[in-house]
Structure 1
Amino acid sequence: MFVEGSGGCTPSKGSPLIPRVIFDHGIFVTQRFGGVSRYFSELARGIARAGVAVEIHSPIYVTDAVRGLAGDGVAVKGRHVPVFPGVTWLGHGLAKFGTRREKGAVVHETWYLERHRRALGGAPRALTVHDMICERFPRDVRGADVQARRKRQAVERADLIFCVSETTRADAADLWSIAADRMIVTPLAASLPVYPRSRPSKPFILYVGHRAGYKNFELLLQAYQRSARLRSDFALVCFGGPRFDDGEKQAALRAGDVQHVAGSDAVLANLYARADVLVCTSLYEGFGLPLLEAMAAGCPVVAVRGGSTPEVGGPAARYVGGADSAELAYALETLLYDESALMDLSERGRARSRSFSWDRTAALTVHGYMELWS
């Protein structure tokens, strides 16, 4: 289970015990939107609400969510630019030659960089580890060996490590032999807008995210294809990830009404509000934010029991194995035609989602900073 937060973790306004916090440029020159950039944007906002001075040092940045942080008390030291070829390389270069005052601050690295300048004045460093996918599924991630090496280097130079789940902390301890007192669990929270539940003209099953490798999307496609009832009554909508390649297009045609949708957070929030069920087939997640987003929206969840998924979903999701498409098809058929079961999962999900909040995550993080600084 996640470490429970307490009101005692929240510092008082202007407390002299709380250092200034600096987020570096790493993720902000890499990701326009996504789970990691959302995590740091929401964390910065929560830390500022807790009364701690927080700064983002990124000479340029592409993350859309950063643009509104200045109005929430976060000092953004940089300029937003549109995504263009080479923007990440340029962002790293500008940060390397830039100057910043780090004395009297905690530096929180936002991604696993190849080379990271040492903090001026010996400022302590924090790092968030989001998952151990490259280490657990190296064949399923492009450049896994490079990212795993950079992550290990970042871990070795960090004075304190935050992990987004107990699963990630346990895997890090197992693979890297890290002392438990160097790691603190700070779970994520849902931050998408929540729209009223509504029924589309044709009901649909929702899948969110990338589909290859350990994401195990083929399991859902096979389950959908083998059930004439599901194909007749429901579409299968895939949000995010790359567009269907030629192989996926052919498989989608054989399966039935399978669609790919891309778009903003508002588009995703609208899909959660209208979907009959979210299906998560991933064999491993460091956290599994789509589960939490769906539950917050009242969308029932069916998920493969793996990684941190049961840790996040708890009793608010229906679980299946990760190898048998017949089991998944049966679970969907029995759930989707049972209104009382759907309503029960929807209510359980909403209640479960309320146990996660960015303010609580920020409080746990600030508490870690305080221990690091003391």
Structure 2
Amino acid sequence: MAKIAVLGYGVVGSGTVEVIEKNKEGLLKKAGQEIEIKYILDLRDFPDSPYKDKFVKDFNVILNDPEISVVVEVIGGIKPSYDFVKSSLLAGKSVVTSNKELVAKKGAELLKIAHEKGVNFFFEASVGGGIPIIRPLHQCLSANRIDEIAGILNGTTNFILTKMIRDNMAFDDALKTAQELGYAERNPSADVDGIDACRKICILASLSFGKHVYPDNIHTEGITKITPEDVAYCENFGGSIKLIGWASRQDDGKVAVMVCPAFIHEDSQLAGVNDVFNAILVRGDSTGDVVFYGKGAGKLPTASAVVADVVIAVKMNSSSKSLYWEDSDQDFIEDTDKIVLENYVRVNGISKDEAEALFGKVSYLTRKDAPEGELAFITPAISEKDCNEAVAKLGDKLLGRIRVLDY
């Protein structure tokens, strides 16, 4: 019998307990032994819970119990999660987590400790919720050199953009709808400012390219400046606006990583991903494009990924050799100024000659009922540095800028 502890009894924690208890017989067959939840750590009291006898408030009870072989961390954040996870690994206990912030910021260190101690640090649920992506990357696609990885990594922002596109909503109205439906938090910053997507693409890029990508080094933009006017011009472009986290191997051997709203063409496999669904495109040198699609969050989908990791952790008697990346001083990350992309630009009060003097030969877009003096166009592929300098010269004549991506 494998005895485990669950740290945190919030949405994912309670879902994890529910899935394990509900599927005990099936998990027994898959793990080769019964999985028993011995402890649930939470500072709150749950007197009416059927698991009330399992609750503890002192982490040391779990840490010092030699019977506990796997610790499930679903508290979130860095404090106290980092201390709990690190201590568990050092004590020779495998850890399973859904904590994207923890993995994005501390993954290299925690993976190294797990390998040194002969245990595992698993985090399938940290990216994509119930969508399998971590294990496919380091096992199923291991024969490939990953050249690019890009995705719609946040269901909340994708829902908001879908409402803006389908229902011609302004951003604020679409956000309010998302909050009313429970898709967005009262404070939606982590979602709408791109922070959540940044953490996820950092994890995916770290695994794909073998070196830790830290969120603080990644240019990150959210969707708060997207307008219905931009949506209309994107329709004329023949595509959709999506918040994309992406990482791409460059010709000089470095890796470009960014999170940004983007025009993507309607032929893209990501263009038709709507509402709260996520999709992750992996571009390998042997497979070409492979896309993973599904709901990226939710109590039971995320809990499903957590429990799957628990089953594998219980079955393994050594560290996974393929789930690993090295720490890095970030010298392999491409300078954002050197990234070359096309851009959508919307301006007011400048002529076509002035636009082309700033950006070069551009392709113009149109929309119904555009006011006099408004101009929208797609630039040629230019460096971020050159585009930023041109945009700066526009001053308050700039109405919008969105990058154009080829996925």
TM (normalized to structure 1)? 0.39
Structure with a larger share of its residues in strand = 2
Greater fraction of residues in helix: 1
Rg larger in 1 or in 2?
2
